[in-house]
């Protein structure tokens, strides 16, 4: 089963693993669960956009197994 996580684009080089899912302070502002692992890319993209409204860095959705 493919899972998806949100990462800061600057940290994407660290690899796509659930442990690397974004869990920083923008989560509280955006109402996003810190470190969440998603089962659909679409729902992860929605939350990534919410995070971008609170923090101007680029967030990316990456797949992991």
Q: Can you give the pLDDT at residue 14? A: 66
pTM: 0.89
Q: Can you give the pLDDT at residue 65? A: 74
3-state SS string for 13-64: HHCCCHHHCCCCCHHHHHCCCCCCCECCHHHHHHHHHHHHHHCCCCEEEEEE
Q: Can you give the pLDDT at residue 10? A: 82
Mean pLDDT, rounded, for 37-59: 96
Q: Can you give the pLDDT at residue 13? A: 67
pLDDT (tens digit, 9 = 90+) per residue, 5-41?
A: 999 988 776 678 899 999 999 999 999 999 999 999 9
Residues counted in the chain: 65
């Amino acid at each position: 089963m493919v899972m998806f996580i949100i990462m800061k684009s600057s940290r994407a080089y660290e690899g796509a693993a659930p442990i690397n899912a974004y869990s920083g302070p923008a989560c509280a502002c955006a109402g996003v669960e810190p470190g969440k692992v998603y089962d659909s890319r679409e729902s992860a993209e929605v939350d990534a956009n919410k995070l971008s409204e609170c923090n101007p860095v680029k967030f990316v959705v990456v797949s992991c197994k």
